[in-house]
Amino acid sequence: MMRAFVTAVYGFLYLPIALVVLFSFNAGRHASEFTGFSFQWYGRALSNTFLMEALTNSLIVATTSAGLASLCGTAAAIGLGRAGPRTRAVFDALFGAAIVVPGVVIGIATLVALVQLFGIVNPALAALWPGDTPPRLALGYGSIIAAHGLFSTALVTMIVRARLGALGRDMVEASSDLYAGPFTTFRCIVLPQILPAILAGFLLAFTFSFDDFIVAFFVAGSQTTLPIYVFASIRRGVTPEINAIGALVLAASIVLVIAAQLLLRRRTPASS
């Protein structure tokens, strides 16, 4: 009974995904029957310029937001390691909350906040600008990167904090006992040992941003990311081309997440 239930749950979870992958290799047009093995939909997907543009957008947004998140998250983690116990507890709770808040809420909240901000900044810019065409802040790349970067910063902070905690104060003190100033200690002792965690954080942040539809949908403005493109094209019916994109995104995500896990599991990084 229990077993059947569990099987059903996993079936519901993974069967549709398996079907997407299977039908991405379908020679025929229709999802109703598998008429033969073919790579043709992958070729079509890769030669679709709208699709490739959305993919490029997604890559730019994911790389930038994950990069920013890695920088800010690492800095936050190091800062928190030095903060008092009360400050630390408050910020740990805030970062934890940022991760469990549903995407819809983040999306709406970011949208509202950005629109309000633009409402204040744009008139001010227009008034102060010496030229004729003052720049206008609007939804687009910037707002997606900001929204993803904020969420991912929380993610990276949590991951790097865990690694820093395992490092302990001994290592830092030993370095400083051996005449190394704070900067050298960070560069030679701390950074090499938390680097796997930072990279893992980057990969997870990248995966999140690359796959995210909900938050991006709210704040993308006129920009199209890959998930938004897929969503839009599904209205015109599920084609094997969509399946091919889905299979590619799935493969990339799995590779990135596994790489992140391997980085996090490795105890001591290679000698430098």
Partner 1 sequence: MASETLDIEFRGVSKRYGDVTAVHPTDFAVPKGAFIALLGPSGCGKTTCLRMIGGFEQPTTGQVLIGGADMAEVPPYRRPVNMVFQHYALFPHFDVSANVAYGLRQVRPRLTSSEIARRTADALAMVQLAGFGKRKVHELSGGQQQRVALARALVNRPSVLLLDEPLAALDKKLRTDMQIELQNLQRELGITFVLVTHDQEEALSMSDVVCVMNGGRIVQLGAPDEIYDRPADRFVAAFVGKTNFLDGTVVENGGNAARIRLANGMEIGARLTGGGAPGAAVSVSLRPEALRLGAATGETGLGGIIRNRIFLGSTAEYAIEVPGLGTLLATADHDAARSDLLRPGDEVAISFNPGAPLAFPVADNKTTQRETSHVEVLS
- Cα 83 to Cα 60: distance, rounded to the nearest angstrom: 34
- Residue from 2, 100, 128, 270 touching partner 1 (CB under 8 A): that is 270
Binding mask 120-159 vs partner 1 (x if CB under 8 A, - otherwise)? Answer: ----------------------------------------
155 vs 194, which CB is nearer to partner 1?
Answer: 194
Residues 194/166, Cβ–Cβ less than 8 Å = no
The three state secondary structure string of 151-180 is HHHHHHHHHHHHHHHHHHHHHHHHHHHCCC
Per CB under 8 A, contacts with partner 1 among 160-189 are: 170-171, 173-181, 184, 188-189
Binders of partner 1 among 22-41, rule CB under 8 A?
Answer: none
Cα distances from 16 to residues 63, 230, 263, in angstroms, run: 29, 16, 30
How many of the chain's residues bind partner 1 (CB under 8 A)?
A: 22
Closest CA to 111 of 221, 214, 218, 227: 218
- Comparing CB distances to partner 1, the nearer of 222 and 271 is 271
What are phi and psi for residue 225, nearest 5 degrees?
A: -100, 170
Residues 6+ apart with CB under 8 A from 22: 34
Task: Say which amino acid occupies 31.
Answer: A
- Of the two residues 132 and 170, which places its CB atom closer to partner 1 in the complex? 170
**Least separation, in Å, of the C-beta of 197 and partner 1?**
14
CA pair distance 122, 85, nearest whole angstrom: 41
Supply the minimum distance, in Å, between the C-beta of residue 82 and partner 1. 14
Q: Pick the closer one to partner 1 by CB: 86 or 235.
A: 86
CB of 78 to partner 1, least distance (A): 18
- Please tell me whether residue 87 binds partner 1 under the rule CB under 8 A: no
For residue 3, what are the CA distances in angstroms to 8, 13, 15? Answer: 9, 15, 17
- What residues from 193 to 222 belong to the interface with partner 1 (CB under 8 A)? 193
Contact residues toward partner 1 (CB under 8 A) are 170-171, 173-181, 184, 188-189, 192-193, 267-272
